[in-house]
Amino acid sequence: AQSVTQLDSQVPVFEEAPVELRCNYSSSVSVYLFWYVQYPNQGLQLLLKYLSGSTLVESINGFEAEFNKSQTSFHLRKPSVHISDTAEYFCAVSALSGNTPLVFGKGTRLSVIA
């Protein structure tokens, strides 16, 4: 079984400042890792994913995350945030099979302050 820990439930940050949202996972098998973003009353949108290959993955809107196997972490970072980045961010892990569900962390509320 897998589990995910998001250490910060809320992260306030000023606009144009950098941010890091932390995510740690545990699993006895190889996993895929994901970050999803959720805006109010909407479903989840994939932000980025680590399936294999390069441990540093990037999204089209400036976010990046690095898979660190030794530390079992997949922290999300952005060098300069915008007001529009205000949302709930969920880290998730799954086994490699397509028939298994994703296991989510409790989420981190990112609030960008003007």
Judged by CB under 8 A, the residue of 5, 8, 49, 72 near another protein is: 49
C-alpha torsion 25→27→31→36, nearest 10 = -30
d(CA 55, CA 38): 24
* Contacting another protein within 80-99 (CB under 8 A): 90, 92, 94, 96-99
3-state secondary structure of 107: coil
Residue 105 makes contact with another protein by CB under 8 A: yes
Binding stretches for another protein (CB under 8 A): 32, 34, 36, 41-46, 49, 51, 90, 92, 94, 96-99, 101-107, 109
